[in-house]
Amino acid sequence: MFKKILVANRGEIAVRILRACREMGIASVAVYSEADRRALHTRLADEAVFIGTAPADQSYLSIERILQAARQTGAEAVHPGYGFLSENAGFARAVKQAGLVFIGPPAEAIEAMGDKGAARQRMQSSGVPVVPGYQGPDDDATLVRKAAQIGFPLLVKAAAGGGGKGMRVVNEAGELEEAIAGARREAHHAFGDQRMILERYIPRARHIEMQVLADAHGNVLHLFERECSVQRRHQKIIEESPSPFIDEELRRRIAGSALLAARAVGYQNAGTVEFIVDPECREYYFLEMNTRLQVEHPVTELVAGLDLVQWQIRIAAGERLPFTQAELSQRGHAIECRLYAEDPANNFLPATGPLLRFVEPQGPGVRVDAGYTSGDAVTIHYDPLIAKVIAWSGDRPGAIAKMLAALRETVLLGLTHNGQFLQDVLGDPDFQAGQVWTTWVEDKFGDWQPPQCELPPEVLAAGALLRLQGQADASNAEPSGADPYSPWRNASSFRVGKGGV
């Protein structure tokens, strides 16, 4: 087993991986940018190395600086988390060339799945069903011609894409060219690659994905499905396992295709094969394979009873999976909600600001994967995901009830976030009946407003009491710029160092 691992990421996923290292007795190295000098992940690691300024391309996307940090600390392996360099084959290769182990799939598997067009072809020829569409030379004129053949609505999608970036739904031919241009720009910024593919758009489609786990000894297993149909801006906000939609027979078929897909590219380590399922005909189609850990991996961990991050590390260290497919099973039901700094009443646009107070929910069956604590700030530089709240219960209604109770207990003061919105989605009869699709949030909650616009009298009375006691005004209580939670009068003079975002 490795003695020391470098975690090439930030936020909740870096914290998650650092905890796994700690439990396995492996020393950990965090890397951080200027903006993250005091971030949770830099504090939880055994060592923390500064790698650059706030913009990701100067820090978390800098292969050179990350490898330098690994060399400097004597790390033996690198965990990329998700996002950033996690699906960058060049990074996987550079890690290997530096004599380190990349905790993820072989660079060839990343490459094979990274180009959405090539992956579509490969899957087609491997017998995995794909959505009707087009991949190939992608000059605008060709795309316009191919689009006409496929018909509308259709999806314009970055060949190098992921996470819903560089993707547009096009409802009619007139919108096509601007959509292609916009998707190309977004893809260029996000991935440095503006190649596009086209896919038929399936209305009311469900997003169902299969977690796979493959070791270096030829064992390829699946850890069942996750349903992630509750999305906004093509990004998931609520995920669950098992899916309330599929039955045992469909699960078996989709899992079979997922294993076929993983084997086709010589996959190793943890990965996810995403499918869309047409609810009318119950046909499913390969969407893409995410060659990394997913944000929503906790729901699988709770239902399958396995620690995916620890298995990623063990597989990278050459260990053999000690269980067979038949020994794995789903138990109970898990739901994950993503707490984002964003405004659901303003097109879900990201928000920034200080986390003046963040209190995580507690109680049996509730798990919180957070990357922030009170006193931190969400900045313009990185993803606005603050924390994931995950609830497990014996059945789906129990898990929904537990999640609602957990969200009601969550406190998040200082910026706009989607906590109230998530509660409304969970309380919706369609959601409770499991009747959702990938545009359901837009269709149903497009004009959502916080339902409790009226302040309840106890909150107003509390506010009045705070004012009465002279405690409601920051300027009245502390010199400006001071940490409002510092127990000390002279706290304002206390924060030193280069920190501060």
Partner 1 sequence: MRDRFQSRDRIYEVSLERQGEAYRAVVDGQAFDLELIDSQAGVLTVRFNGRPAIIYYAPDGSSLWLSQGGCTYRMDKPSQRRNPSTGEAGGGQAVHSPMPAQVRAVQVGEGDVVEKGDTLLLLEAMKMEIRVKSPAAGRVKRLLVSNGQAVERDQILAEIGD
DSSP codes, 425-440: HHH-HHHHTT---TTH
Site residues for partner 1, 139-198, by CB under 8 A, read: 165, 182, 185-186, 189-190
- As separate numbers, helices (DSSP H) first and strands (DSSP E) second, the chain gives 17, 23
Nearest CB to partner 1, comparing residues 129 and 375: 375
Nearest CB to its own copies, comparing residues 276 and 482: 482
User: Tell me, what amino acid is at 169?
Assistant: V
Residue 96 CB, nearest approach to partner 1 (Å): 27
Count of CB atoms situated within 10 Å of the CB of 383: 21
| Helix, strand, coil % in the chain, rounded to nearest 5 | 35, 25, 40
Among 53, 97, 124, 362, binds its own copies (CB under 8 A): 362
Site residues for its own copies, 1-30, by CB under 8 A, read: 16, 19, 22-25
Site residues for partner 1, 380-419, by CB under 8 A, read: 380-384, 407-414, 417, 419
The secondary structure element, H or E, covering residue 269 is strand 269-278
Partner in contact with 23, chosen from partner 1, its own copies, none, beta carbon below 5 to 8 Å by kind? its own copies
d(CA 315, CA 270): 9
- Give catalytic residues, as residue numbers: 292
Beta-sheet strands, E only, within 95-202: 101-102, 133-134, 154-162, 165-170, 196-200
d(CA 437, CA 230): 7
d(CA 1, CA 31): 22
Q: Show the tokens assigned to 82.
A: 């998700």
Sign of the alpha-carbon torsion through 135, 136, 141, 145:
negative
Residue in the structure block whose two tokens are 């070791």: 215
258 Rama sector, left if φ>0, alpha if ψ -120 to 50, beta otherwise: alpha
Site residues for its own copies, 242-301, by CB under 8 A, read: 298, 301
Nearest CB to its own copies, comparing residues 125 and 475: 475
Partner in contact with 301, chosen from partner 1, its own copies, none, beta carbon below 5 to 8 Å by kind? its own copies
Q: Note whether 64 binds its own copies by CB under 8 A.
A: no
Among 108, 307, 424, 428, binds its own copies (CB under 8 A): 307
Residue 400 CB, nearest approach to its own copies (Å): 10
Site residues for its own copies, 374-403, by CB under 8 A, read: 393-394, 398, 401-402
d(CA 164, CA 317): 32
Q: Note whether 467 binds its own copies by CB under 8 A.
A: no
Q: Note whether 489 binds partner 1 by CB under 8 A.
A: no
Nearest CB to its own copies, comparing residues 24 and 216: 24
Q: Note whether 226 binds partner 1 by CB under 8 A.
A: no
Q: Which residues bind its own copies (CB under 8 A)?
A: 16, 19, 22-25, 298, 301, 305-307, 310, 331-332, 360, 362-365, 367-370, 393-394, 398, 401-402, 405, 469-471, 477-478, 484-491, 493-494
